[in-house]
Amino acid sequence: MLDSTDAVVAVASLSRRFGSKAALNDVSLHVPRGCVFGLVGENGAGKTTLIKHILGFLRAAAGQVRVFGLDPVSDPVSVLGRIGYLSEQPDLPDWMRVQEFMRFTEAFYPKWDARYAEQLREQFGLDPSARLRILSKGQRAKLGLLAAQAHRPELLLLDEPSSGLDPIVRRDILEAVIRTVSDEGRTVFFSSHLLEEIERVSDHIAMLHQGRLVLCGPLEQIKAQHRRVTICFDAQLYEPPRVPGALAVTGTGREWTVFCNATQIQLPDIGARIVSEDDASLSDIFVATVAGNR
Amino acid sequence: MVPRLNPASGVPLYLQLIEQVKHAIETGAIRAGEQLPSVRQMAENLVINPNTVARAYRELEHEGIIELKHGSGAFIRESIVPRAKLMQKAQTVVRSALDQLESFDLSEDEIRRLLENELASRRKSKKRRKAYA
């Protein structure tokens, strides 16, 4: 279990309904200090709703949210000042120029590091005199990332940062994640449906499915628990075999692939043998878990 | 050395990194006494979590391949050289075995499957022996 005393974000039994739809259903998680915490889930799984609660944009209807041990709704100044936030579509004042926007944002953050901001601007190749209106989607994301990072936040919170961006901007974003976590004690929480990205940089992950947390823990542990086992039968099967403990079974004829928790693998007693056993990628685990929870 | 990692393969990234460091030593791309990039530098180059790099370095140290000097980085051990020589010798064995297999008119895929199946079954019987011991 994670040590909740050193949790940057602590969410306990959080539920939220929008009309008749349960957006979040009894979600509890801890984000340990100094980790990269990846939040995955299908579109509409509740990722953004969860992030809005962490930012204090939504008040917990049931359950509790604490960020740095504080309530983000009642204490927004102390919480938001220590968070760097980038949303999927950063809301930027289009009429400003890049330089003006940087000075404008600086005013909100006492800890803004102007030299670092300038360094990032150059690295991202942003023209200081360009109007935000004319920036491309990638340049807007980079500027949003600059604004989220330049005050060296204790918690960098990214909501679907790479969505719809080209590989070069995505790399800039991931590098920012790595740089943040390399600095002692700083934490990153980010959501994405690009599972390869999550698998690259995260050390903890949580998986939301229809508002419920279906997986949560250290990535290494989750990967160690899941195996992709290919089994072969003597006779052709016309429907998937029942395998105790399997999350998902796919295949045809004699050969079937079983996704399972490694600790629970038990072959059906109808003449099956294991052909191969592989590590499952996060993407395999995601698909199998979601299929198993339908 | 410029390792290339593939998160989609399912093989944990730290294991991929370990394999690639070993491979780089075997091919001579990095040599005894030379320094690997720092954990942070390697993490930024590969765009992976620094803890993953640190984990790979710790395992490499445990296997006696590198030496971690506090504050100054990771160095390839001198004692690794005989290992590299051994690998070169093994390579000639593999080469002659492959020559022979090719004379049976087997395709590259068939040879790879044979080798992987053989390795897998050995691994399994080793595991079983351990379980009974």
For chain A, domains (ranges, CATH) are 4-210 (3.40.50.300), 224-292 (no CATH)
Average pLDDT estimate for A10-36: 93
Closest-CA distance, B76 to chain A, in angstroms, reads 23
Write out pLDDT tens, residues A117-161: 999 999 999 999 999 999 998 999 999 999 999 999 999 999 998
Tokens of A34: 């100094």
**Burial class (CB within 10 angstroms; exposed 0-12, middle 13-18, buried 19+) of B129:** exposed
∠ CA A57-A106-A71, nearest 5°, is 30
Question: Backbone phi, then psi, for B89, in 5-degree steps?
Answer: -65, -45
Tell me what pLDDT residue A1 has: 39
Tell me what pLDDT residue A244 has: 76
Average pLDDT estimate for B29-51: 89
Tokens of A225: 């628990």
Q: Which of A33, A173, A178 to mutate to test the interface with B (most CBs of B within 10 A)?
A: A178
DSSP annotation of A91? -
Contact A181 B49 (CB under 8 A): yes
Closest-CA distance, A175 to chain B, in angstroms, reads 6
Percent of chain A with pLDDT over 70: 94
Tell me what pLDDT residue B26 has: 80
Average pLDDT estimate for B14-29: 88
pLDDT at B131 over 70: no
Architecture of domain B7-78: Orthogonal Bundle (1.10)
Model-level pTM? Answer: 0.80
Crossing angle (nearest 10°) for helices A167-182 and B50-62: 70
Contact A171 B48 (CB under 8 A): no
Contact A175 B44 (CB under 8 A): yes
CA A56 to CA A13: how far, in whole Å? 16
Residues 6+ apart with CB under 8 A from A258: A228, A229, A230, A231, A243, A246, A248, A249, A265
CA distances from A267 to A228, A230, A281, B67, B120 (A): 13, 11, 22, 44, 18
Closest-CA distance, A174 to chain B, in angstroms, reads 6
pLDDT at A270 over 70: no
DSSP characters over A213-252: EEEEEEHHHHHHHEEEEEEEEEEEESSPPP-TTEEEEEEE
pLDDT at B46 over 70: yes
